[in-house]
């Protein structure tokens, strides 16, 4: 639930800039993301609608006692791993959208260090437990390489200065 709360908080800092007019599709680079409703039907939506669908869906899952039991002795569902992977995929889409479409605003708000730290922590956690398909995250490989190989020089932490901040800033401008 912590990643959900932190991604939601990070998005909330730029949500006023992520409008249906400014972000008509949920796209990152040349990849467009679609929401799939409960019947599995593909829904084309704006980025803010997509993020709202993600946050509502993930909120429902992380607070569902049958999915994330909090009582001792309760079993996790057999679908737990696939649900966690789905949550991670959706949260990754939101983080990628923030970088691709709203990094300039994040930088102006001086929140890029927080975004970089959140992103690195999320990616390393997802890698450790094999929660994201590398094909899914390929769109962010350049940034991931810069931030995750910082060798202590701003590798996602601090104020974004050094290797992490400069790489992220350039990454946002290149696209």
Q: Residues with Cβ < 8 Å from 83, sequence gap 6 or more?
A: 61, 67, 77
Q: Is residue 112 marked as binding?
A: no
6 marked ligand binding residue: no
Euclidean distance between CA atoms 150 and 57, whole angstroms: 34
CATH of the domain at 127: 1.20.140.30
Each residue's pLDDT tens digit, 30-66? 899 999 998 999 998 999 999 999 999 999 999 999 9
CA distance 54 to 56: 6
- Extract the residue ranges of the chain whose pLDDT is less than 70: 151-175
Domain hosting residue 148, numbered range:
2-174
Query: What pLDDT score was predicted for residue 1?
Result: 84
For helices 80-108 and 47-62, give the axis angle rounded to 10 degrees.
Answer: 130
Element housing 33 (H / E)? strand 31-33
pLDDT at 122: 98
Q: Is 114 annotated as a binding residue?
A: no
Domain count across the chain: 1
Provide the pLDDT for residue 77: 97
C-alpha count within 13 angstroms, C-beta hemisphere, residue 36: 5
pLDDT at 170: 35
Known binder of ligand: residue 23?
yes
Which pLDDT belongs to residue 104? 98
């Amino acid at each position: 639930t912590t990643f959900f709360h932190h991604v939601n908080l990070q998005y909330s800092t730029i949500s006023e800039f992520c409008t249906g007019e400014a972000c008509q599709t949920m796209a990152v680079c040349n990849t467009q993301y679609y929401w799939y409703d409960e019947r599995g039907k593909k829904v084309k939506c704006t980025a803010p609608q997509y993020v709202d669908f993600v946050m509502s869906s993930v909120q429902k899952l992380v607070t569902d006692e049958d999915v994330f039991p909090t009582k001792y002795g309760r079993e996790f569902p057999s679908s737990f791993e696939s649900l966690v992977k789905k949550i991670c995929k959706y949260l990754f889409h939101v983080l990628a959208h923030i970088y691709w479409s709203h990094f300039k605003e994040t930088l102006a708000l001086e929140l890029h260090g927080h975004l970089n730290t959140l992103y690195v922590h999320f990616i390393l956690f997802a890698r450790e437990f094999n929660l994201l398909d590398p094909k899914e995250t390929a769109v962010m490989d350049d940034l991931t390489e810069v931030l995750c190989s910082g060798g202590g020089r701003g590798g996602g932490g601090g104020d974004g200065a050094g290797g992490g901040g400069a790489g992220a800033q350039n990454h946002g401008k290149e696209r």
